[in-house]
Amino acid sequence: MSEQYVEMNRLAWDQRTETHFKSDFYDVPGFLAGRTSLREIELAEMVPVAGRRLLHLQCHFGLDTLSWARLGAHCTGVDLSSVSIEKAKYLNEQTGLNARFVRSDVYHYQRGPEPPFDIVFSSYGAICWLPDLVRWANIVAANLVTGGTFYLAEFHPFHNLVSGYQYFDSEKPDIENEATYTENGSGMTATMATWSHPMSSVINALINAGFVITRMNEHPFSPYNCFDGLEEREQGRFYFSHLGQDAPLVYTLTGKKAG
Ligand SMILES: C[S@@+](CC[C@H](N)C(=O)[O-])C[C@H]1O[C@@H](n2cnc3c(N)ncnc32)[C@H](O)[C@@H]1O
């Protein structure tokens, strides 16, 4: 990826993180008081994590990473933003959860001498920042033990399409100056580069990197109120109606690294 886009996104995420950390959306005080930041979808679908080595790619400021750590996982979180990683390390210290946080572009992440992970996890608003899914899937595979699990919970590309983005893979990024999605975010804008990816590209990249896809689900709600026009019909479930019908808002994939 052009370093110019990585740098643009890093600066934007540094700025967003300062806002997100103070938001009700992320509810840091609630997390520190013991609440999980994980949502019903991943809590229901993930493999057991207790005692397992878990790599969280694009961990933002670590709430989900540390929530998996509270469930007994030995966690490493990786993110591009230095502000995110500083705040994740602060929360790690506050909670004494003994996770590791590494500032790195996903594409340059080096595990070092430690063994590969049992689980790689990534979620909600991750792959739109990645131009090359083939490289990404190979990095996921390279960091997993044989038989290890990759779990992805991601926003559904159908919603991108109805929001005016292209559905199929984009070589050129969308460059936009936009506010962030937290309730306190309207005052800040940042210029960011994103790439569209249909589900077939995600799945094929993983298959070609040596994964067997063991489950795929689509959900008609988002656990986050992060798009315009969502309706909370049940607590924590935000729906989007398209031409009178429920749109798919989240998809999840579970893959096993084949031997
Ligand atoms: C929407 S957040 C991830 C969502 C996460 N589920 C959350 O809400 O906490 C996207 C994250 O991806 C990170 N990111 C963007 N591009 C990246 C890259 N090339 N390598 C590593 N992290 C990246 C950003 O810094 C940001 O923290």
pLDDT in tens, 55-104: 999 999 999 999 999 999 999 999 999 999 999 999 999 999 999 999 99
Q: Ligand 1 in contact with 222 (CB < 6 A)? A: no
Outline where DSSP puts E strands in the chain.
53-57, 74-79, 100-103, 117-123, 144-155, 174-179, 189-194, 211-219, 221-222, 231-234, 237-239, 241-242, 245-246, 250-257
Cβ 105 under 6 angstroms from ligand 1: yes
Chain segment 159-189, per-residue pLDDT in tens: 999 999 999 998 899 999 999 999 999 888 9
User: What fold, for 3-33+45-257?
Assistant: Rossmann fold (3.40.50)
Q: What is the pLDDT of residue 171?
A: 85
Predicted pLDDT at 249:
98
Residues, the chain, total?
259
pTM greater than 0.85: yes
Phi and psi torsions of 126, nearest 5°: -105, -50
202 in Cβ contact with 168 (< 8 Å): no
Ligand 1 atom nearest 63 alpha carbon? 9
Domain ranges of the chain: 3-33+45-257
Ligand 1 atom, smallest distance to 84 CA: 27
Output the pLDDT for position 1.
Answer: 53
From the CA of 224, give the closest atom in ligand 1: 8
80 Cβ inside 6 Å of ligand 1: yes
Nearest CA to ligand 1 atom 13: 58
Please tell me the distance between residue 243's alpha carbon and the centre of ligand 1 in angstroms: 31
> What are the CA-CA distances from residue 171 to residues 130, 138, 168, 193, 196 (Å)?
11, 19, 10, 11, 9
